Amino acid sequence: MADPGYRWSDGHPQRKAEWRKRLRDHGPVQCGCSGECHSHEGRCPVVIHDGDDWHLGHGVALRDGGDGSDSTPWCPGCNLRAAAWMTNHPGGASRNWWG
């Protein structure tokens, strides 16, 4: 079974389809990661274009009460690193990672 938050009934595929259309119709967007991946400080500099490989990332993780409504395109590196970090830090962390 798919993880909660990634099933059709949870809206994940629909949100990804909406972003694909937006990238096609309105142009590129900057990766939505603002440091959750722990590999950069601040917003990721990667720009995602129509046809690029990208993931649907979340500002507030599902495990932290997010509902996916803040989903935006993330570069695969940021999304996978953020998921790995959350898996290895189940208690979460504050957003002041460098302070």
What are the pLDDT digits (tens) for 34-45? 998 999 999 999
In 3-state terms, what secondary structure has residue 80? helix
Is residue 45 assigned to a domain?
yes
Q: How many domains does the chain have?
A: 1
Note whether residue 94 is domain-resident.
no
Position 99 in a domain: no
Residue 98 inside a domain? The answer is: no
In a domain, 2, yes or no: no
Question: What pTM value is reported for the model?
Answer: 0.78
Give the pLDDT confidence score for residue 50 in this predicted structure.
97
Q: Is residue 52 part of a domain?
A: yes
Domain that holds residue 73: 8-88
Domain-embedded: residue 30: yes
CA atoms lying within 13 Å on the CB side of residue 25: 6
CA distance 7 to 13: 7
